[in-house]
Structures are given as structure tokens and as C-alpha cells.
Structure 1
Amino acid sequence: MLGWAVTFLVVALIAAVLGFGGIAGTAIEIAKIIFFVAIALFLISAVIGLMRGRGPTVR
């Protein structure tokens, strides 16, 4: 998911250099949304992983 955020960031930078302000603004907003969603999903996954923990191993 972070790969998509980086892709949109690169598209935004290229569009800004070429003078396409509207496309650059839209791409950077999409990149920010995807980045924050990825961070939120990572944090949720980390908290659930910590809560589950490891049970005792039975031999």
C-alpha cells in the first residue's frame, strides 16, 4: 500500500514540474490518504498482534 502512496507522490511531483497544478494537487491528496490509511492499518495490526500474544507451547 505504501508503494501506491509513493507512486502517487512521484506522479504529483512530475505533474507539478510540468505545470499541471490540478493533477498534482489531486495526486498528492490521494497519496496522503493512502499513506495515512496504511499507517492506520499497520497500527491496528500491531495492536491486535500484541493483544493476541503467544500462548504456551504444548509438547
Structure 2
Amino acid sequence: MWTTLLILLVAWAVLAIVGFVFEGLLWLAIAGIVLFIATLVLGLIQSRNGRRAS
């Protein structure tokens, strides 16, 4: 699960960087940042729930 989460975080970070590099793709940077934060939060929530169940 952490491998998938890490791959998604890297993908969203790359999208955000590309969005900032090309001015016309600012929307892509914003989407990348939002998805990065959402993936990080969901990953943390799932890891905390997994610890309680064990």
C-alpha cells in the first residue's frame, strides 16, 4: 500500500511542477497540489486505522 501511495505522491508532485513551469497550465499545478494533499491525508488516515485494528 505504501508503494502505491508513494507513486501517487510523486506523480502529483511532478504534475504540480509541470503546471508551474508552463504558465498556461497553472490549473494543472493546482490540481497536482490538491491531489497530493488528498493522497497524503488519506494515506495517513488509513495507516492510523490499520494500527488500531492490529
TM-score calculated relative to the size of structure 2: 0.76
Amino-acid identity (%): 14
Highest Rg: 1 or 2? 1
What are structure 1's unaligned runs of at least 5 residues? Answer: 50-59
More helix as a share of residues: 2
CA distance in 1, matches of 2:52, 2:9: 23
Q: In 2, are the aligned partners of 1:15 and 1:23 still within 8 Å (CA)? A: yes
Among 18, 29, 33, the alignment partner of 2:22 is: 18
What are structure 2's unaligned runs of at least 5 residues? Answer: none
CA RMSD in angstroms comes to 1.2
Query: Which amino acid in structure 2 is aligned with residue 41 of structure 1?
Result: Q
Give 4+ residue runs of structure 1 displaced > 3 Å after superposition.
none
TM-score calculated relative to the size of structure 1: 0.71
| Pairs aligned (count) | 49
